[in-house]
Amino acid sequence: MKILFATQNLNKIEEVQSILPQDFSVLGLTDFNFEEDIPETQNTIEGNAIQKANFVFDKLGVLCFSEDTGLIVPSLNGEPGVFSARYAGPQRNASDNMTKLLNKLGNDKPRKAYFETVIALRTKDSLKTFTGRCHGQIAFEQSGNGGFGYDPIFIPDGYLASFAALSKTIKNEISHRGQAMKKLISYLS
Ligand code: ITT
């Protein structure tokens, strides 16, 4: 089965392709010569996932799914949350975002955090969402060379290393995206 993943983030495409069973293949927006910016103006992660799937479906008319992900730190009132991509400004720079988060946490605030991913699957007649969460702690400094986004400062529960230092296989098994994808796969199968 071929399925369009409506995202402009190539790291997400790579992760999702490696999570999906071999009988699925992921198409990207470039396969449809789609280069428009996709709006993300809602104030929830779920709202943004739905907005992205609807926007792309309305333009292309093909079954697609999108996802929105946020990192939630309860001791910072849920920041960066829905603003995770542009936390430190419109340049959407991962290193700037991590620096801002580490500075805001300082040495004293509780470091519990979780990632949340909502996948929105849009067909002609329906819209369905699938949520995944991964709990952990924000590290005191960056470590590891893999992953993307906030991975160098997120240590998932049960591990001593950041997502960026753990293998892709482990990240996919336990991550927010991995959990949400399992639900999507079981629905599609
Ligand atoms: P699309 O909206 O085109 O899918 P995006 O990069 O804008 O791509 P999001 O709005 O979902 O995606 O991203 C929110 C932020 O969270 C962004 O800064 C990502 O780098 C980061 N992020 C998403 N998934 C992550 C993961 O698995 N690990 C670490 N950071 C992640």
Q: What domains appear along the chain, each with residue ranges and CATH number?
A: 2-188 (3.90.950.10)
DSSP 153: G
**pLDDT attached to residue 113:** 98
Ligand 1 centre to CA of 128 (Å) is: 20
| Cβ of 111 less than 6 Å from ligand 1 | no
**pLDDT attached to residue 189:** 87
Is residue 58 annotated as a catalytic residue, yes or no? no
The CA distance from 56 to 45, in Å, is 17
Q: Which helix or strand (DSSP H or E) is residue 70 part of?
A: strand 64-72
| Cβ of 151 less than 6 Å from ligand 1 | yes
CB contact at 8 A, 171 and 11 = no
**pLDDT attached to residue 105:** 98
Mean pLDDT of successive 10-residue stretches along the chain, which has 189 residues: 93 94 93 94 98 97 97 98 96 97 97 98 96 98 97 98 97 97 95
**pLDDT attached to residue 44:** 98
Indicate which residue of 68, 108, 125, 151 is catalytic.
68
**pLDDT attached to residue 153:** 98
Ligand 1 centre to CA of 67 (Å) is: 9
